[in-house]
Amino acid sequence: MTKVVISGTGVFTPPYSVSNEELVDTFNTYARKHNEENAAAIERGEMEALAESNVEFIVKASGIESRYVMNKSGIVDPDIMAPRLRQRSNDEPSILAEMAVDAAKKAMARANKTPADIDAVLVACSNLERPYPAIAVEVQDLLGIEGFGFDMNVACSSATFGIQTACDMLRSGSVRGVLIVDPEICSGHLNFRDRDSHFIFGDVCTAIVLERAETCTAKGAWEVLGTRLKTKFSNNIRNNFGFLNRATPEGIGAKDKLFVQEGRKVFKEVVPMVSQLILDHLADEGLDPKDLKRMWLHQANKSMNDFIGRKVLGRDPERHEQPNILQEYANTSSAGSIITFSQFNEDLKEGDLGLICSFGAGYSVGNVLVRKRA
Ligand code: COA
């Protein structure tokens, strides 16, 4: 069978970092003001007072210490608590496309590829800036790539589902090179007024170049040994924002039109699903978990990753075997495992085995088993 390789990755990191302290200060200022303004109703028992957030809880429960965002001033303003981003005119690049082009250029440079080597562009992410025309077609145009592009969304698993899609196209021979970009402005769908989740997400964009092994000239590329995808319906991570919202105007602006989750249930249900998929996938490929040199896992929660690592390896993973970036970037949805892969793969040796794994809403899980080339 035709061998496919990941020959380059790239990361665009937004210009502003927000610490837990800044986010908690903003939330607590908002909560106090809300409680003062509604003191009488709270007193009468008609309304619940808002509890304050705290930094210790966030670090302990999630491992997150800071996050990058495309706009900071709106997020840390207690009267706004949302990003403020200028709407671009139709003649300017959209924000997602601009982030994507930056990450894509880095990935293509690493892969020794020019736009002429790419036949397909996939924008694979959780939230698209508009329904159409596809952001992927705009990215394709901005980079001067012939061929075609399309957008796809499998929430946090979008990048790994994109990798399997790219592998299938490359193996069938319909394309010679694929560029996947994962622009994630998670601050746009995060409810900064929800104490349970206001700290969870950050913004970023990652890019991946895939091609057939015979055209690869990049040093230290990764052969894709196999991919495995799984989905199982769940409402525990949900966002009801959509084009039919205007048909029910009374619901516009309600909490369910932003990210909502039952974090504890997600934790309990997704950890076994992911661990089992990884173990089954390795067994089907005739590989032993102890041969895994590194796992680049989805970046949502540190304890969740520790559990998965223990279940797969049968022991506590060493830090270098399972690096995390969520302390700096927070959860960046589909981009998390790719940032980690991009930052922590160059030290590995020819023949080393690794696993990229994402998981999230759907539920969805995506595995990509890779082996390092010369
Ligand atoms: N500050 C202080 N306390 C807080 C708080 C905050 N910001 N948010 C919640 N708490 C409190 C809760 O009120 C609760 O208090 P109680 O025990 O008195 O009722 C307690 O902390 C525990 O809350 P819980 O929501 O059960 O926390 P948790 O340990 O499950 O951690 C998450 C929350 C979201 C970090 C964790 O569940 C998680 O990461 N889950 C997986 C999520 C995931 O992967 N999602 C995918 C998204 S793409």
Q: Which of 127, 267, 364 to mutate to test the pocket of ligand 1 (most atoms within 8 A of CB)?
A: 267
Q: Judge if the beta carbon of residue 70 lies within 6 A of ligand 1.
A: no
Q: Judge if the beta carbon of residue 57 lies within 6 A of ligand 1.
A: yes
Cis omega (within 30 of 0) on the bond before 183?
A: no
Is 212 among the domain residues?
no
Contact at 8 Å (CB) between 50 and 35?
Answer: yes
Neighbours of 212 (CB within 10 A): 17
Residue 146: alpha-carbon gap to chain centroid:
27
Number of independent structural domains in the chain: 1
Domain range enclosing 284: 222-372
Is 129 among the domain residues?
no
Is 232 among the domain residues?
yes
Contact at 8 Å (CB) between 295 and 321?
Answer: yes
Is 247 among the domain residues?
yes
Is 331 among the domain residues?
yes
DSSP letters along 338-358, please? HHHHHHS-TTS-TT-EEEEEE
- What residue's CA is closest to ligand 1, atom 42? 263
Residue 21: alpha-carbon gap to chain centroid:
23
Integer Cα distance of 27 and 33 in angstroms: 10
Integer Cα distance of 291 and 186 in angstroms: 35
Q: Judge if the beta carbon of residue 157 lies within 6 A of ligand 1.
A: no
Q: Judge if the beta carbon of residue 262 lies within 6 A of ligand 1.
A: no
Integer Cα distance of 240 and 259 in angstroms: 8
What integer pLDDT is reported at residue 220 of this predicted model? 94
Integer Cα distance of 71 and 66 in angstroms: 14
The closest of 89, 258, 285 to 187, measured between CA atoms, is: 258
Integer Cα distance of 328 and 25 in angstroms: 19
Q: What is the CATH number of the domain that holds 251?
A: 3.40.47.10
Over residues 279-308, mean pLDDT: 97
Distance 62 CA to ligand 1 centre (A): 8
Over residues 133-150, mean pLDDT: 98
Residue 269 buriedness (CB in 10 A; 0-12 / 13-18 / 19+): middle
The closest of 92, 65, 69, 94 to 80, measured between CA atoms, is: 69
What integer pLDDT is reported at residue 316 of this predicted model? 95
Is residue 156 annotated as a catalytic residue, yes or no? Answer: yes
Question: pTM for the whole thing?
Answer: 0.96
**pLDDT for 300 beyond 90:** yes
37-61 pLDDT tens trace: 999 999 999 999 999 999 999 999 9
What integer pLDDT is reported at residue 1 of this predicted model? 80
**pLDDT for 251 beyond 90:** yes
Contact at 8 Å (CB) between 29 and 249?
Answer: no
Is 15 among the domain residues?
no
Is 121 among the domain residues?
no
Is 144 among the domain residues?
no
